[in-house]
A and B are shown apart, each in its own frame.
Chain A
Amino acid sequence: MQSSGIEYGPLKIRQVGIRVYVEDWPGRLGFYKYGFPVSGAADHYAHRMANLLVGNPVTEATLEVTGGFFEAEFTFDTVIAVTGANMEPKVNDDPILMWKSVRVRAGDVLKLSLSKDAGFRAYVAFAGGIDVPLFLGSKSTCVWGSYGGYKGRSLQAGDVLNIGKLNEKQLDSLEGKYVKPKFIPNYEKTWEVAMVPGPTAAPDYVTEEGVEKVFSTVFNVDRNSDRSGYRLITPKDIFPKEWARKSGGVAGLHPSNIVDMGYTIPGGLNVTGDMIIILGPDGPCGGGYVILGTVAYADVWKVFQAFPRRDFIRFRFATLDEAEELRRKQEAMFNSKEEIIGG
């Protein structure tokens, strides 16, 4: 198959642990008002690094491996990179380094095990990218919408995915690149993320004390967390205690109810009833619940590296200007490839 001058060939999917999605970045922009969420890589940091390592644009699709236990067999020689959560990647039975581009041969099998210590999602990039059809301008999968990516769903054992097929000379130049150590994040069990309160926060919807409490609480991530949203186990001392209103009025009886509005995805702290949910890239574009704050975009990838039930999230107060500055710095970093990639 041929498109945009790149040749593609088959990758045989042998095992898919929990879920493996094709995701690009920044996702599906321009269709928010029609109800199509942005989707795209949940960890935009690891995703972009993986692409840079194999010589792709940061916008190209990678495989987002959730949890672990993924296996795929190559049918031709290529260069790949694995970033994100450490799932102890191996080619055949030999461990390979993460955050580094690696040459693989026809017949080799890439194996990812379980993400044991920290992190929940790993990213696999292929030199030349992944060939799936664009849907509304993006290769990203939206899980509950059953569209985008590979047939609108997670990969399954037995699937054949088309990936870039470059020539020997190109592969030679891509092999052995690595992310310089200071640009490899520490993977934590408690992720601290910058968060800007608003648009529906103190004082109108949540008390000042309530917002303080959100910043001083370490939240355990609920087991029912996915790309749509990360549910946080929310102490009763925050909600219902700290609602600034008694009811949602015409929007509904509960004080978390408001007249439907657009949500901030990913990263919005959506309070549905008395539970905080951090909206994911596949979260709804809008709805009738308060958004208490929004995680800084530069940090939002950390949320989705938290392993549901095992890991924790803590919010650090940031002003809008601080959050904008974090983002500008991060974009500038990704725009200076020679600074971050060695080899």
Chain B
Amino acid sequence: MSKYNPVIDILPPKEGGWQKKIIFRVAGDGWLQVEYGEEQVFDLLDTFRLFAIMDRLAKKQIPGLIEYGNGFRTMMYRYDPTKISLRELLKYIKEVEEEVGGIEELSFPSRLVKLPIVFKDSVTRAAIEKYVREIRPNAPNVVNGHNFDYTAMYNGLSPEELKEKILGTEWFLCHQLFWPGGTYQLPIDPRCAIEAPKYNPSRTYTPEGTVGVGGWCIYIYTTESPGGYQLLGRTIPTYQLSQKHPAFKEKPFLLKASDRIKYFETTEDKLLEIYRLVHEEGSPKYQYDITEGTFRVKDYIDFINREDVKREVKEFERRKMEAQKTVPIP
């Protein structure tokens, strides 16, 4: 084997249940990467397993392990090599991976967070106007002054049907690595798996609270920032550096990976009133709607394997493919 090969250990796939190979990769002194399977794929089952692992890790004391963060199908561990060598750490992590059994039996804590959304609101509309004015005048992804109708077209849907897809599922918050409190979400109901190409070139400005879609993910922009996802609308604050509203008292961000987000439609007036209460007054008069819960992977597997669900997923795939033959890419 090449001296450059970073693979330091492997757990072979298990018979029955969750089948994937587990690959342990060197990532410099102080880091260990654990990868599920050999293929670069988006598979919620990989992500769910990572949460079951983290649930277990939280109950263990591993010397020299500082922290960890999950991607969609990988975990990155940060350790202190003055306290533990990678080879020793590997023993602990392999043990945890072995202890976590077949995927079907897994469950982990997951909160349900209900967030109001306004589609095609005036703030995201202004951001798109700015992009058209300053960066790309004839951007094909701007239809009727917004990216919403374009995204509908790209998915072979009417604007009303696109709303139904977004409102019709819980969105699973997979990871937050790219931006503080960031929120990469995939739909738990695969029939709602909308997709979108990214901006080209990217945007220099995205308003706080914007909900966008890029690739298979939807994303809430926690703060004003650059960005490349197609804008759908706007939700309420999910990040507050001043930490003056009680929801941000412990941490400056509201959402965390493993949360399920359910969007419901509201009016722009109501949305702006919530911004005022949360950011200007820091007032507990607005309370976030968060329910503690448990996510059972078996329920998910049963659901995606239902005949009617499988049929409708296929049907939607076909519609998307048909639409994408003619809809221009930015």
Contacts and interface: CB of A to CB of B under 8 A. Distances in A.
Nearest to B174: A260
A251 B214 CA distance: 11
B28 A264 contact: yes
A284 B178 contact: yes
A190 interface: no
A286 B241 contact: no
Interface string A100-117: 000000000000000000
A314 B86 CA distance: 25
B76 A294 contact: no
Interface stretch (B10-18, B65-73, B128-136): B65-73
A286 B35 CA distance: 14
Contacts of A34: 176, 180-181, 251, 253, 256
Given A147-B241, A198-B6, A297-B30, A262 B76 contact: yes
B75 interface: yes
A262 B30 CA distance: 13
Nearest to B241: A147
B184 interface: yes
A261 B29 contact: no
Question: Chain A binding site: helix, strand, loop or mixed by DSSP?
Answer: mixed
Interface string A186-223: 00000000011111111100001001000000000000
A183 to B, nearest CB: 19
Nearest to B75: A262
Given A201-B4, A203-B2, A250-B40, A263 B76 contact: yes
A263 B3 CA distance: 22
18 contacts: A31-B67, A32-B67, A33-B177, A145-B180, A196-B27, A197-B6, A199-B27, A203-B2, A208-B2, A258-B40, A261-B72, A262-B71, A262-B177, A263-B177, A285-B69, A286-B175, A320-B28, A320-B29
Given A29-B67, A268-B28, A294-B27, A262 B74 contact: yes
A324 B86 CA distance: 9
A291 interface: yes
Contacts of B30: 264, 294, 297, 327
B279 interface: no
A43 to B, nearest CB: 17
Contacts of A252: 215
A160 interface: no
A242 to B, nearest CB: 12
B73 A202 contact: no
Report, as a range, how many residues of chain B touch the other chain: 35 or more
Interface string A280-320: 00001111000101111110000000000000000001011
Nearest to A206: B4
Query: Chain B at the A interface: mostly helix, strand, loop or mixed?
Result: loop
A261 B251 contact: no
Contacts, number: 181
A30 interface: yes
B81 interface: yes
A260 B41 contact: no
The 6 closest A-B pairs by CB, nearest first: A294-B28, A198-B6, A286-B177, A262-B76, A33-B69, A199-B25
B69 A196 contact: no
A31 B5 CA distance: 30
Contact of B72 (A145, A201, A211, A259): A259
B261 to A, nearest CB: 16
B158 interface: no
A158 interface: no
Contacts of A33: 67-70, 175-177, 257
A320 B215 CA distance: 35
A34 B253 CA distance: 9
A251 B40 contact: yes
Nearest to B34: A199
Contacts of A35: 176-182
Interface in B251-276: 251-253, 256-257
B39 to A, nearest CB: 8
Contacts of A327: 29-30, 81-82
Given A259-B73, A284-B177, A286-B178, A324 B81 contact: yes
Contacts of A195: 28
A321 to B, nearest CB: 8
A37 to B, nearest CB: 8
